[in-house]
Structure 1
Amino acid sequence: MIRTTALALLLSVSAGAALAQPKIDPDWPCVQRKVETLSPGQFWTGPDIAAAGDWGSDNDAAVLAQKIASRRTDLSQVDPLLDDFAAKFGSDKDAKDKALTRVYAGAFEVLNGERNKIMNGIARYAQGQRRMAERIRDEADKVSQIKDAPSRGDETELPKDQTELETKFAWDRRIFQERSQSLTYVCEVPQLLEQRLGELGKRIQERL
């Protein structure tokens, strides 16, 4: 029974990876499809980003880009911030468009960088889960071997080493399950960042 439970936990990890994409990547346990890299053009059909200049050298654009990229800034606050920024350029449409393009470039770089860190974190998390699943399987095997050993006879009191092993097995299994539940929420973050980036791109382009 214990061994079956441990194997079920292992299978749940494999199943998550299998659902994620046709080719199973053991370091990607999410049901959501893994998108390795993003490009600015996925969310932008406005002016050429390269021609707009380095966003980091434009202090006003850089400050705004980082502010609207932050998830602490509610999307309802983005429109007023963009309107105030665009208003600084008055009737100079070319300057305004280039500045807004730099804002998008900055927001893309900030959000994409955050997304990459989270993707790498998910991979490390999955590796840790896989190692823990293997340890749980080994612990289940040892517990089963001790219980099935002929030398036990009709003993009613469990040996100390068996009690410690069963306690460790139960604790590891609990941690594994809690980490698996947490991973479900973490897996949603890359997509949430992509959605935010798409929404920012849309709102910036509305002001070009």
Structure 2
Amino acid sequence: MRPWLALAALLPAAALAQPKGDPDWPCVQRLVPVVAAGALWPEAGEGDWHAEPEVAALARRLAPRGVAEAEGLAAIEGFAAPLGPDQRRRLLPLAFAGLLEETNAQRGQVIEQLRRFARRQRDLAERVRGLEAEQRAAPTAAQEELTQRHFFAAKAYSDAERTLRYACEAPVRLEARLGAWTRALRAALPGE
């Protein structure tokens, strides 16, 4: 079997993995653009988390993707420990609101990167298909160069597909981390 035909068989499978609602969403996971507060904390408090400097500092400190779940849990514990019961009832829901907003901002950036990646992959798949057509129609003298060009384009596509599987987990990891932090905030509430 010619190497370019093997890749051609893979290209339609990648297209089938995309949900019909958004052709730029390349992941198997369902696209959820924004995590809703009610999904994690139905009775979240009122107020502006930006207006509380300690809450804002906590939310911004924990929001970056590189912050590990355990690091965030320790920071939440350190934040809640000195607070009295009334302060906890007021500030912990605000901390949740801040973490939710900041996490949604991080997720939004990741989702947009994944969409751009999907568009590039689609363009690359078209390029591979075009090279396959050129190879079939080209005279024998041009076959070697076209075979090399096709090989490198197909390799770039395959390498990117392997990366995509890992990249699609980024929004899921952000959601899981937010869930753990939400559970820690709720556990620190008086009476919980």
Query: TM-score interval w.r.t. the shorter chain?
Result: 0.7 to 0.9
Separation in 2, partners of 1:46, 1:201 = 12
Given candidates 44, 47, 56, the residue that maps to 1:62 is 56
Given candidates 159, 168, 171, the residue that maps to 2:149 is 168
Separation in 2, partners of 1:47, 1:12 = 42
Given candidates 4, 23, 27, the residue that maps to 1:26 is 23
Superposed counterparts of 1:1-208, under 5 Å = 1-2=2-3, 4-17=5-18, 21=19, 23=20, 25-48=22-45, 51=46, 53-90=47-84, 93-146=85-138, 159=141, 161-208=142-189
Separation in 2, partners of 1:136, 1:46 = 52
Pairwise CA distance, 1:88: 3.0
Amino acid at match of 1:99: L
What residue in structure 2 maps to residue 155 of structure 1?
none
Q: Is the 8 A contact 1:140 1:169 kept in 2?
A: yes
Structure 1 unaligned blocks of 5 or more: 153-158
Q: Is the 8 A contact 1:2 1:140 kept in 2?
A: no
Q: TM-score, normalised by structure 1?
A: 0.81
Structure with bigger gyration radius: 1
Pairwise CA distance, 1:24: 5.5
Pairwise CA distance, 1:100: 1.2
Q: Which sits farther off after the overlay, 70-79 or 6-15?
A: 70-79
Separation in 2, partners of 1:81, 1:170 = 50
Q: Is the 8 A contact 1:3 1:144 kept in 2?
A: no
Pairwise CA distance, 1:46: 4.2
Q: Is the 8 A contact 1:132 1:172 kept in 2?
A: yes
Deviation >4 Å, runs of 4+: none
From the superposition, tell whether residues 192 and 80 of structure 1 become closer, same or farther in structure 2 (CA, over 3 Å).
closer
From the superposition, tell whether residues 141 and 127 of structure 1 become closer, same or farther in structure 2 (CA, over 3 Å).
same
Q: Is the partner of 2:120 in helix, strand or coil?
A: helix
Q: Is the 8 A contact 1:118 1:190 kept in 2?
A: yes
Identity of aligned residues (%): 30
From the superposition, tell whether residues 115 and 96 of structure 1 become closer, same or farther in structure 2 (CA, over 3 Å).
same
Q: Is the 8 A contact 1:65 1:106 kept in 2?
A: yes
Q: TM-score, normalised by structure 2?
A: 0.87
Matched residue pairs, number?
A: 188
Pairwise CA distance, 1:189: 0.9
Pairwise CA distance, 1:87: 3.2
Q: Is the 8 A contact 2:76 2:181 kept in 1?
A: no
Structure 2 unaligned blocks of 5 or more: none
Separation in 2, partners of 1:168, 1:64 = 51
How well do the aligned residues superpose, as a CA RMSD in angstroms?
Answer: 2.0
* CA shift digits 1:71-125 (9 cap, x unpaired): 44333333443233223333xx222221111111111111111111111111111
Q: Is the partner of 1:34 in helix, strand or coil?
A: coil
Q: Is the partner of 2:17 in helix, strand or coil?
A: helix
Separation in 1, partners of 2:71, 2:4 = 53
Q: Is the 8 A contact 1:6 1:140 kept in 2?
A: no
Pairwise CA distance, 1:14: 1.4
